[in-house]
Amino acid sequence: MPKRILQGKVTSDKNEQTVTVLVERRFTHPVMKKTVRSTKKYRAHDPLNQFKVGDTVRIIECAPISKSKRWEVLVDAEA
């Protein structure tokens, strides 16, 4: 099974080696047929503390690192 990759914006970098990422999901409401925006926060592993508030990052699923961290920040070579 392929690992999910999500894109979002960093909302907090206060914790050591952790960033909080706000991911927005858009979908069409089944009854109203209107586009709905839904947001969710994920805590992702950032081992080098290189991402700051406001950065747009991509996160990928991984094995559990702590109680709340199941994602890690994807560092692309071209980015």
Count of domains in the chain?
1
Q: Does 79 fall in a domain? A: no
- Name the residue range of residue 29's domain: 5-74
CATH number, domain of 64, equals 2.40.50.140
* Residue 29 belongs to a domain: yes
CA 76 to chain centre: 15
Please state the rounded mean pLDDT for residues 3-13.
Answer: 95
Residue 41 lies in a domain: yes
Burial 6-31 (b: 16+ CB within 10 A, else e): bebebeebeeeebbbbebeeeeeeee
* pLDDT, tens digit (0-9, with 9 covering 90-100), for 20-60: 999 999 999 999 999 999 999 999 999 999 999 999 999 99
Residue 59 lies in a domain: yes
| Rounded mean pLDDT, 1-11 | 95
Within-domain flag for 70: yes
Give the per-residue pLDDT at 29.
96
